[in-house]
Structure 1
Amino acid sequence: MKKSIPDINQKIKNGEATILTAEEVTRLVMDGEEPTVEDVDVVTTGTCGIMSGTAAIFHLPVAEPGSFKKSRKITLNGVPGFPGPCPNEWLGSVDLMVYGTSHSITDPQYGGGFLFKDLLRGEEIEIDVEDIDGNILKSSATLDDFGTAQMIGTRFAFKNYTAFINPTSQPVSSIFNAVDMDGPFKGISFSGCGELNPLQNDPQLNSIQKGTRLLINNSEGLFIGPGTRSSPEKPNMMITADMKDMDPHYLGGFRTGAGPEVYNSVATAIPILDDEILRKTFIKNEDIRLPVADIRGRHSVLSQTTYQVWRNVDERPTYEKELCQNCQTCMVEERCPTRAFQNQTLNPVRCFGCGMCAYSCPFGTFQMERGQVQIDWEGKVKELEVSCRQSDIKRARELARELKNRIERGEFLLNNNL
């Protein structure tokens, strides 16, 4: 049996379509069932994690028209932007691009990801402009004041990334761990949402094509094409969406050993046109290869494991406040990548589920099953505990379900471009 996009869209409009998340499909398969193309119309997928290839294109007023000719430099809450390409001469406004990985010139722990989240939360930000004559103009604005706020993801949602270890005795600073990674073999960091990830379920980009609609941080966006460094073996996505429609829950800043990064969430819908497309969504975490590399040289794969790291683990920590020793310097507060733990209070909304709190506190104040990984190292098997997750399965699952719900309500139809 084969179906068409118009067939599926008509079923969606009639409220008759069967929509499953990728995890729901996999659970059916693991329970011994194998759904067919007659049983499923759409499978939704999702991922959430650090996505360094994040940029925002802004247009915003900064002064009265005629007050300066054009901008040479600009910062938003201390985060540098790049004015242009349009000069906007004498208009009092600036076109600019801000990278999600840019670091504030005033606060080394604050960057583009934190800025984007603050904007989406409606907070007023401080703007500093230096014009071509060296004059400094100061103003403030909220996202409502911006004429344009468009996110461009140049490299999102890798099919699967690389896990990292430190086999040496010296700590290593890297964006691939929340803090300098201790060694030797003191833990493992990884990224990716396994069987829920969009490109694990459509690895050849057969359903996700140019112009395909999707959700980016809960804003409806478009797939532009394969992203930078994309390859048939390790594809990724270039996508875009209006930031004004985004939900701050799904994106933000993430502090690492090499400074602040940015995380995003993406969900896609796979139309089930035939059994071959459906069978690709049967993939299980245990089947997905997770390469393991030395954090000092990530191009050399030393061993491998699987995304079984997501099985039987906790999505969020449990905070046992009565066990807190009130340390003069709290390791968790210093290390929490999303600043979710402040003043002995854990903010569950800001929490990313990375596990750094449970890894760092020596008194067991934070309880969290993070999972173990076995790797082959020089002919011996080593068992390592996950020290840091740079992906959040909880947010990924929530966005995949949100997309499923939108389709079931008839609010999201599929592109007829296959």
Structure 2
Amino acid sequence: MKIRSVEEINKKIKAGNANVLSAEEISNLIKEGETPKAEDVDVVTTGTCGIMSGTAAVLHVPVSDPGAFKKASKISLNGVPGFPGPCPNEWLGSVDLVIYGTSHSSEDEKYGGGFLFKDIVAGNDIEVEVESIDGKTFHKTVTVDDIGTAQMLGTRMAFKNYNSFTNPSEELISSIFHAVDMEGPFKGLSVSGCGQLNPLQNDPVMKTICAGSKILLNGAESIIIGNGTRSSPEKPNLMITGDMKQMDPHFLGGFQTGAGPEVFDSVACAIPVLDNEIFEKTFILNKDIVLPITDIRGRHSVLSSTNYGEVWDNSDERPVYHPEKCIKCDNCVVRERCPTGAYSDNLNLKKCFGCGMCVHSCPNQAFTMETGSVSFGIEDKTYDMPIICRQSDIKRARELTAELRRRIEDGSFILNNCLDKTS
């Protein structure tokens, strides 16, 4: 039964009296035994933050005066290789290019596309090197203000459902699904996904989170293009685009993994409450969301399962650093392993991702944080494993979800009429 249209919700948003709740607030009411009514809620805000390997950027970068070279054959930004084109920009002295968030710098093994994107958005100096088709080399230092176009394209973002990973073998396994080479057998679990806050967990059939929907991508008002690559009815994800010049560097960046640097992003989506069916989909609880436990050597090999209640319920957003326990090791394993470079003699909470690697790496327990644990059985044996790496950041997800709510409540974020497909 239809309750309201998008136009009616937008009128309330513009008037400053829309009723907005986050998906977590809805879930908490359900957990407490209350049943909220669709008539009382206009919009539900959702969000996620985590590694999103399908992230790329389309850039237009000035390099030299017009006429200095015909076109580029190679280009790199801070040592991260890009792909010139598709437009050749003959004799213009500038280069169109595509650069991947998963590309690795040729100069620094811990630096890659995700770290580069954060530096671009933050307005930092970017060193550009171009090799022209006739073998000449050009250098230029630019900032985001010099770059004509800086458009992010997420080819697959905000998966509804993820796998978790463990290593059942004796050998070390290198993978993008863990911050370092993963030890085994069954020494710990690496997880992704923000559970009951995740956008497509609250709209699993993409009834309102759909092509044309306005969302926030890394703080910038952006657009869902459609389903992402590898999306399926069982495992949907989103293809999204947004202007990097409007993004907040806090919400994106690089994340070092066992297979090299990756990229993380933050996404927040609004669900207009048009009818009871849409609203009731947001009643999901972490404990009811199944999280498969898979072999990190092959993500399709399911060993057992847990749920997001074990991951996020009663867990901490960030570690606490206890400097009195730090003995200043010459080869600090925490500094070496921290995926975002948040620790260097002190913990930088602005850079911290809340992954938990410091807690499970420091031999002197200089870091404390509750990251959760799971217990599961395989055949006749029971395993109790700590969650040692969280590749999703619930704190940033909550922050961007709250930012979306603020913009809706102050009337600066208006929903798209194209969402009103249920009328």
TM range (shorter): over 0.9
CA offsets 1:183-214 (integer angstroms, 9 cap, x no match): 11110000000000000000000001211000
Cα distance between partner residues in 2 of 1:26 and 1:32: 10
**Structure 2 equivalent of residue 103 of structure 1:** 104
Letter in 2 for 1:208: I
Cα distance between partner residues in 2 of 1:359 and 1:58: 39
Q: Of the candidates 314, 318, 321, which is equivalent to residue 319 of structure 1?
A: 321
What does 1:329-408 correspond to in 2, within 5 Å? 329-342=331-344, 344-408=345-409
SS at match of 1:405: helix
CA offsets 1:235-283 (integer angstroms, 9 cap, x no match): 0000000000000000000000000000000000000011111110000
SS at match of 1:181: coil
Cα distance between partner residues in 1 of 2:120 and 2:224: 24
Using the TM superposition, give the Cα deviation of residue 381 of structure 1 relative to its aligned residue in structure 2, in angstroms. Answer: 2.4
SS at match of 1:20: strand
Letter in 2 for 1:203: P
Q: How many residues align?
A: 417
What does 1:277-316 correspond to in 2, within 5 Å? 277-308=278-309, 309-316=311-318
SS at match of 1:143: coil
Cα distance between partner residues in 2 of 1:232 and 1:7: 30
**Structure 2 equivalent of residue 204 of structure 1:** 205
Cα distance between partner residues in 1 of 2:380 and 2:240: 42
Using the TM superposition, give the Cα deviation of residue 411 of structure 1 relative to its aligned residue in structure 2, in angstroms. Answer: 0.5
Cα distance between partner residues in 1 of 2:325 and 2:68: 58
**Structure 1 equivalent of residue 239 of structure 2:** 238
Cα distance between partner residues in 1 of 2:92 and 2:258: 41
**Structure 1 equivalent of residue 129 of structure 2:** 128
Cα distance between partner residues in 2 of 1:177 and 1:127: 31
Using the TM superposition, give the Cα deviation of residue 377 of structure 1 relative to its aligned residue in structure 2, in angstroms. Answer: 1.5
SS at match of 1:225: strand
SS at match of 1:45: strand
**Structure 2 equivalent of residue 142 of structure 1:** 143
Letter in 1 for 2:73: R
Cα distance between partner residues in 2 of 1:97 and 1:86: 11
Cα distance between partner residues in 1 of 2:256 and 2:289: 27
What does 1:240-259 correspond to in 2, within 5 Å? 240-259=241-260
Using the TM superposition, give the Cα deviation of residue 169 of structure 1 relative to its aligned residue in structure 2, in angstroms. Answer: 1.3
Cα distance between partner residues in 1 of 2:171 and 2:197: 35
Letter in 1 for 2:148: G
Identity across aligned pairs (percent)?
A: 63
Using the TM superposition, give the Cα deviation of residue 376 of structure 1 relative to its aligned residue in structure 2, in angstroms. Answer: 2.0
Cα distance between partner residues in 2 of 1:297 and 1:166: 10
- For normalisation by structure 1, the TM-score amounts to 0.99
SS at match of 2:212: coil
- For normalisation by structure 2, the TM-score amounts to 0.98
**Structure 1 equivalent of residue 414 of structure 2:** 413
CA offsets 1:135-175 (integer angstroms, 9 cap, x no match): 11111100110000000000000001110000111110000
Letter in 2 for 1:52: S
**Structure 2 equivalent of residue 18 of structure 1:** 19
Cα distance between partner residues in 2 of 1:128 and 1:209: 39
What does 1:135-214 correspond to in 2, within 5 Å? 135-214=136-215
Using the TM superposition, give the Cα deviation of residue 379 of structure 1 relative to its aligned residue in structure 2, in angstroms. Answer: 3.1
Letter in 1 for 2:318: R
SS at match of 1:345: coil
**Structure 2 equivalent of residue 52 of structure 1:** 53
Letter in 1 for 2:296: I
Aligned CA-pair RMSD? 0.7
Cα distance between partner residues in 1 of 2:287 and 2:60: 46
Cα distance between partner residues in 1 of 2:39 and 2:328: 59
SS at match of 1:3: coil
Cα distance between partner residues in 2 of 1:48 and 1:102: 20
Cα distance between partner residues in 1 of 2:292 and 2:380: 17
Cα distance between partner residues in 2 of 1:91 and 1:166: 52
Using the TM superposition, give the Cα deviation of residue 380 of structure 1 relative to its aligned residue in structure 2, in angstroms. Answer: 2.5
- Unaligned residue ranges in structure 2 (runs of 5+): none
Letter in 1 for 2:59: F
Using the TM superposition, give the Cα deviation of residue 78 of structure 1 relative to its aligned residue in structure 2, in angstroms. Answer: 0.2
Cα distance between partner residues in 2 of 1:259 and 1:176: 11
Cα distance between partner residues in 1 of 2:145 and 2:374: 46
Using the TM superposition, give the Cα deviation of residue 93 of structure 1 relative to its aligned residue in structure 2, in angstroms. Answer: 0.2
The range that moved more, 81-90 or 119-128, is 119-128
SS at match of 2:293: strand
Using the TM superposition, give the Cα deviation of residue 374 of structure 1 relative to its aligned residue in structure 2, in angstroms. Answer: 1.5
SS at match of 2:245: helix
Using the TM superposition, give the Cα deviation of residue 298 of structure 1 relative to its aligned residue in structure 2, in angstroms. Answer: 0.6
Cα distance between partner residues in 2 of 1:387 and 1:37: 39
CA offsets 1:74-107 (integer angstroms, 9 cap, x no match): 0000000000000000000000000000000111
Letter in 2 for 1:275: N
Cα distance between partner residues in 1 of 2:209 and 2:62: 37
**Structure 2 equivalent of residue 268 of structure 1:** 269
Cα distance between partner residues in 1 of 2:66 and 2:75: 17
